[in-house]
Structure 1
Amino acid sequence: MTESDDSIRLFTEWLLEHQSALTDKILTAIWRDGIPTSPLATDPALSTVVRLETEMLVAQFLRGLGKRQQVPIQSHGARHLARLAALHGTPLEEVVSSYRIAHGVIQDFFFQAARESGIGSSCALSVLQFCCLQLLRQTESLIGLVTTEYADETEMIGSDENALRLQAVRSLLDEAGPAPELPGYDLSAEHVAVVAQGPAAATLAAFAHQCKDEAISVFTDRNVVWAWFSGSIGPADLHEAVAERAQRGCLGAGEPGKGLAGFRRSHREAQSAFRVCAWTGRRSARFADIEPEAIGLADVDATRALVRRRLGQLIGGSARHKSLRKTLEIYLASGQNARSAAFKLGLTERTVANRLQAARALLPPDTRLSSLELGLALRLLPLTAGRPPGAPGGVPLPSPVGRQ
């Protein structure tokens, strides 16, 4: 092995070790500057798909660098994302721009790798030249690939029933444009919206089909479904029919809303509920049950600051800290009634009192156990450690609130 080969190996090993951080940087830049208004960025289920495909594409490229492979990447993930962009009306120019943005992020990451991977200054220039050239070639190749795939998908949309229905739904969700009709579905009724991914999506689509004129559903990706239900079908019925039957997957449901405004609002709420599930690992959630978490995820940094400020040393991850927090949560949920909390926990009142005293000692000075902020901080604490699927780096999924 030559010195150059050894340097390439060290360089790519460092990149692979930091692959998750690189993916996070790429997605943050693309969602901010490339496709900020696309459903691929604003919808939590679709952005999860984008994240997973991007992670695999980055890994494929980095492994090829280490093997000095110079053949163009034939990425199924890149093809998938191109078709998804076309299906959701994301302009091809924005898709191409996103690859240019990713190119810039990766190139900057190369220079960081050259400094921190230990390859030595004597080899750094040649390694950077080789890797930057490969990056440029692969970027141009991928742009050609996705351009062709995008065009093929665009041609098919006009003859695909699901794609046409999705276009109509997206037009309804676009508050700036005129509202079209949805044949066979009463837009003036009261609606409950649902977003599902994975096996739960197939179950949701099947249930919507059974409901006939009281439901409409669209596949927004092969494993993602948006649906609306009207008439007598409420959130509890949906939970029983979909969430309890589906063994796997993720599902978020909005609250009932009447007319076109309710159709839109319930969908935004379903997206928010799905986002909380994706972040915390829950299988299903109804918006009414997770409103504080939905607000907390709109600004994760502010949520972390609130939790640290209100909980102090009680944040610790030991079994003792968790036990004290659980006792405090039950105590607050029981109206600060120690006897009721003891009954719910299966403990004596003395044990509960001792735990509350220990918890108080770990809280910031002058904290009142009755404060609203303390209860909120306890509830939001899981958000500070949660991560969306496929995102080891912990970058939040984009918030759908106020968009689409």
Structure 2
Amino acid sequence: MADRITAAVPELAVDAVATEVRRGCEAVALGALAALAHDTDVTFAAMPEVLAGPVEVVARGIGIEHMLRSIHVAHATATEVLLDAAARVIPATHRFAEMRWINGLLFGVVEVVNARMSHEYTRAHEAWLTSSMALRMKTIEDILVGTEVSIGRATQVLGYDLSRWHLAAIAWTDGRAPADPTHVQRTASGVLAAAGCVSTLVLPVGAHSVWAWGSRTAHAPTPSAASEVAPTPNVWVATGMPGVGVDGFRRSHRQAGDAARISSTSTRQGWLLPYDDVDLVAMLSVDVPAAGEFVTRELGALAGSSAGVAVMRRTLKCYLDRDRSLVRTADHLHVARNTVAYRVRRAEQLRGHPATHRRLQLHAALTLVEELGDAVLPREG
């Protein structure tokens, strides 16, 4: 359901908003199924998971029409799924009555959800408009989209000097586990301070994330130093690369956003994701379906999902990382040299080509799989 919504309403397919769409869909789906099973009311529409979405939508400046459109898409999806199921499992003699009851219940759900979410959107929008945060966010958004702004005026509004070196960070919690919003802001500030920034700009964006920048004058910040910061439970941080002036401010934020996007499907477990760790994957995976097609095309049977194939794939990636040195690959993997040689030959057989064939593309495909895993591997069946 969430995938259909973000496909039909791309305005909602952005990081924290997409997360809230998914959480809200899950809550509504479970509530609707409970109502169907037990003939209860639809008070689940007051669940925090359902009402958190409008707050994120307002914070990103997304119009209410897109939120209302998402409700209609969800309704159409639920109707299709439930009526198809009814056609399969309900005897013909009772089918019409049951389908009519399902339709009636779903219309009731839509009516309640529509009213509650519209009310929450209006409340959040009024609060946002009356805050000074609105002016700061408008200034930030103008800078990020490339609108020409007065540097002096923007510096005054933001309380942050745009002429210096900058390092951007995006910090967030997924909302499933408790995390104090101040902890998210403090973690972002801590990462920037560890990187050598002496001044910071931290803006809450919705209920679960912040955008942050740190600056210094004489030298570029050092993102790698942030790895020394102690992690905060249930908080993740993505950082960009240092840049100078307004262009550097904008570019570093875009890079942090790309790193945050990668983290949503990444196989790595760390809480901190610097852009320069995933810059190649970020560029190659802007279009994830296309990246998946590229992986399948380059790897052939080596893109299989079995544990054995995964071992061959990892060994070949390690082998290419080490300039095709069997000795260094064996040392890194703690296996015999002959084992590496066998795995490489087997990987080449599965792929259907030697490792020297389209080596750059092969290495890129293996890098995508290592970082994104199932997101770019073909689905079984």
Q: Same fold (TM over 0.5)?
A: yes
SS at match of 1:385: helix
1:225 corresponds to: 210
1:104 aligned to which of 76, 90, 98: 76
Shift of 1:227: 0.5
Secondary structure at 2:265's aligned position in 1?
helix
Aligned residue number for residue 374 of structure 2: 385
- d(CA) in 2 for partners of 1:296, 1:121: 51
Distance of 1:270 and 1:137 partners within structure 2: 42
What stretches of structure 1 move > 4 A for 4+ residues in a row? 161-164, 176-180, 208-213
Q: For residues 189 and 70 of structure 1, do their structure 2 counterparts lie closer, same or farther at Cα, with a shift above 3 Å needed?
A: same
| C-alpha distance in structure 2 between counterparts of 1:64 and 1:275, whole Å | 35
- Residue type at the aligned position of 1:193: A
Residue 250 of structure 1 aligns to which amino acid in structure 2? W
Output one character per residue of 1:223-275: Cα deviation in whole Å (capped at 9) or x when no partner.
2111111115331233433xx43243322111122222222221111111011
Instruction: Tell me how far apart the structure 2 counterparts of residues 121 and 256 of structure 1 sit (CA, whole Å).
Output: 66
Please tell me the residue identity of whatever aligns with 1:227.
A
Q: Check whether the contact 1:277–1:284 (CA below 8 A) recurs between aligned residues.
A: no
Alpha-carbon distance in structure 1 between the residues aligned to 2:130 and 2:351: 62
Residues 208/375 of structure 1: CA separation in 2 closer, same or farther (3 Å cut): closer
**1: CA distance between counterparts of 2:316 and 2:21?**
39
- The answer as to whether partners of 2:322 and 2:329 remain within 8 angstroms in 1 is yes
Distance 1:256 1:41, change over 3 A: same
Q: What is the CA distance between 1:144 and its match in structure 2? A: 1.7
Conserved? CA contact 1:251–1:284, under 8 Å: yes
Residues 230 and 245 of structure 1: CA distance in aligned 2, closer, same or farther (over 3 Å): same
Q: Does the residue aligned with 1:69 lie in a helix, a strand or coil?
A: coil
Output the aligned Cα RMSD: 2.8
Tell me, in whole angstroms, the C-alpha distance in 1 between the residues paired with 2:291 and 2:162: 37
- SS of 2:125's partner is helix
- Matched residue, 1:280: 266
Residues 189, 200 of structure 2: 8 Å contact kept: no
1:286 deviates by 1.5
Question: In the alignment, what sits opposite 1:26?
Answer: 5
Deviation at 1:208, TM superposition (A): 7.6
Q: TM-score by structure 2 length?
A: 0.83
Q: Which residue of 1 aligns with 2:154?
A: 181
For 2:149 and 2:349, how far apart are their aligned partners in 1?
59
Change (3 A) 1:320 1:109: closer
Hey, what does 1:357 align to over in structure 2?
345
Relative to structure 1, the CA distance from residue 125 to residue 298 in structure 2 (aligned partners, 3 Å threshold; closer, same or farther) is farther
CA contact (8 A) 1:203 1:246 kept: no
- Separation in 2, partners of 1:71, 1:223: 26
Structure 2: distance between partners of 1:177 and 1:262: 15
Letter in structure 2 aligned against 1:26:
I
CA contact 2:166–2:213 (8 Å) conserved in 1: yes
**C-alpha spacing 1:297/1:365, structure 2 compared with 1 (3 Å):** closer
Tell me: higher relative CO, structure 1 or 2? Use CA pairs within 8 A at least 6 residues apart: 1
Residues 356-365 or 222-231, more deviating: 356-365
Q: Structure 2: how far apart are the matches of 1:287 and 1:191?
A: 14
Task: Give the whole-Å Cα distance in 2 for the aligned partners of 1:255 and 1:143.
Answer: 42
Q: For each residue in 1:19-66, what CA deviation from the matched residue of structure 2 results, as whole angstroms up to 9, or x when unmatched?
A: xxx34333432x33xxx2xxx433x23322332233222222222222
Structure 2 distance, partners of 1:299, 1:209, is 30
How far apart, in 2, do the equivalents of 1:256 and 1:270 lie? 11
SS at match of 1:110: helix
> Residue 10 of structure 1 corresponds to which residue in structure 2?
none
Distance 1:324-1:97 versus aligned 2 partners, 3 A rule: closer
* Structure 2 CA distance for aligned equivalents of residues 344 and 83 of structure 1: 48
1:245 corresponds in structure 2 to: 231
Return the alpha-carbon distance in structure 2 between the equivalents of residues 313 and 212 of structure 1.
48
Instruction: Measure the CA separation in 2 of the matches of 1:122 and 1:133.
Output: 19
Tell me which amino acid in the other structure corresponds to 1:87. Answer: A
Alpha-carbon distance, 1:217 to partner: 0.7
Q: CA deviation at 1:202?
A: 3.9
Q: Which region of structure 1 is more displaced relative to structure 2, 254-263 or 269-278? A: 254-263
Q: CA deviation at 1:378?
A: 1.2
TM-score by length of 1: 0.78
Go from structure 1 to structure 2 and tell me whether the alpha carbon gap of 1:370 and 1:87 turns closer, same or farther (over 3 Å shift): closer
Q: What is the aligned partner in structure 1 of residue 53 from structure 2?
A: 81
1:266 corresponds to: 252
Q: 2:328 aligns with which of 332, 335, 340?
A: 340
Q: Structure 2: how far apart are the matches of 1:295 and 1:212? A: 27
The amino acid that maps onto 1:188 is S
User: 1:19-168 counterparts in 2 under 5 A?
Assistant: 22-29=1-8, 31-32=9-10, 36=11, 40-42=12-14, 44-72=15-43, 73-116=45-88, 118-168=89-139
Q: What is the identity percentage for the equivalent residue pairs of Structure 1 and Structure 2?
A: 26
The structural deviation recorded for 1:209 is 9.5
Q: CA deviation at 1:335?
A: 0.9
* Contact kept? 1:195, 1:270, Cα under 8 Å: yes
Cα deviations by residue, 1:2-24 (Å, 9 ceiling, x for unpaired): xxxxxxxxxxxxxxxxxxxx343
Asked if residue 289 in structure 1 is aligned to residue 289 in structure 2, the reply is no
Q: Which runs of 5+ in 2 are unaligned?
A: 174-178
The answer to whether the 8 A contact 2:185-2:202 is kept is no
Q: Give the count of matched residue pairs.
A: 356
Which runs of 5 or more residues in structure 1 are unaligned? 1-21, 388-392, 394-404
Separation in structure 1 between the aligned mates of residue 317 and residue 41 of structure 2, nearest angstrom? 57
Separation (CA, whole Å) in 2 of partners of 1:254 and 1:280: 17
Residue 207 of structure 1 pairs with residue 179 of structure 2 = no
Name 2:362's counterpart in structure 1.
374
